[in-house]
Amino acid sequence: MRIAIAEDSMLVREGLTRILREADNDVVAAFDNADDLLREVQRTPPDLVIVDIRLPPTHADEGIRAAIHIRQHHPEVAVLVLSQYVELGLAMQLLSDSAEGVGYLLKDRIGDITEFTSAVQRVAAGGSAIDPKIISALLQRRRSDNPLTHLTPRERDVLKLMATGTSNQGIADRLVISTRAVEKYVSSIFDKLGIPSTRNESRRVIAVLLYLRT
């Protein structure tokens, strides 16, 4: 897989490159700013870009703007955004069109190499990867008449993984259950929460996020 990186911390950039190469990826370019990345994508679009949200010169929104630009103008390029903070607002902005081929993770998730490389694979393959921290913050809220309380603990686990973009196979592997069991849980969750059911794994990410946000 051909990957281009924009990350201004040398330490993180090098570590990231090494991890990706060790997982048999072709890191075609690694920049410390967004403009160079945009030029590279324009010239020879890679399969996936990995972008830090805070990039020079202003360290404001250069990274997220580059990510959104690439998603709009190069839909064939998957985008994984890394950040020191995860913001629901930015996640919703990134997912505004679709959750296909998009990821938004905290930077230190890179350290869990197995998990990270599988998220990279998933995003590159058109799936999604949303940081679990966003989901758990949403799940912690107190609600009067909360349908989430009707979920079984197992169903909650499935919901969390589903919301982060994990595929049915991934959920099955993680929870050591069969994919058939996962499918059963998923349809039960959709029933209990009143979310229109969808078999598309990316579309259900947005549906769940929208549900949890309100």
Partner 1 sequence: MSRPDAASDLPRSQIDLLSSRRPSARTLWLTGAAGVLVVTVFSIVGATSERLPHPAVGVIIVCWVTVPYLASGLIAWWRRPASRLGLLMLAAGFATPLALLPVANNKVLVSIGQLFEVLPAAMYLHVFLAYPTGRLRRWPERLVVVSCYVAALGLTAVKIALGSSPSNIFTVSVHPVAALRLGQVQFALISALLLCGAALLYLRRRAAGRSPRRFSALLVDAFGLALVTLAALSIGGIRAWSGIGIVQGVTSVTLGLAPVAFLVALLDLRLARTDVGGLLIELDRDPTLDLQAPLARALHDPSLQLAYWLPDHDTWIDQAGGRVTLPGPDQRRSIQMIYRDHEPVAALLYDPALDDEHELLNAVSAAAGIALENGRLRAELRAKLQQLQSSRVRVLEAGRRERQRLERDLHDGAQQRLVGIVIQLGLLENQTTTDAQTKRRLTKTRQEVSESLDQLRDIARGIYPAVLSGHGLAIALESLTASAAVPVSLRVGLTERLPEPVEVAAYYVVSEALTNIAKHAHASSATVDLERDTENLIVEITDDGIGGANTVGGSGLRGLSDRLDVLGGKLHIANPAHGGAKLRVEIPCA
Nearer residue to partner 1 within complex by CB, 16 or 182: 16
Rounded Cα–Cα distance for residues 5 and 102 (Å): 15
Token code pair at residue 99: 């959750």
Query: Does 22 contact partner 1 by CB under 8 A?
Result: yes
DSSP 3-state percent helix, strand, coil across the chain (nearest 5): 55, 15, 30
Nearer residue to partner 1 within complex by CB, 54 or 122: 54
32 Cα distance to chain centroid: 22
Query: Does 33 contact partner 1 by CB under 8 A?
Result: no
Total residues binding partner 1 (CB under 8 A): 40
Q: What is the DSSP string of 4-53?
A: EEE-S-HHHHHHHHHHHHHTT-EEEEEESSHHHHHHHHHHS--SEEEEES
Nearer residue to partner 1 within complex by CB, 90 or 158: 90
- Looking at 38-46, 96-104, 130-138, 185-193, which segment touches partner 1 (CB under 8 A)? 130-138
Selected from 113, 147, 169, 180, the binder of partner 1 by CB under 8 A is 113
Query: Does 210 contact partner 1 by CB under 8 A?
Result: no
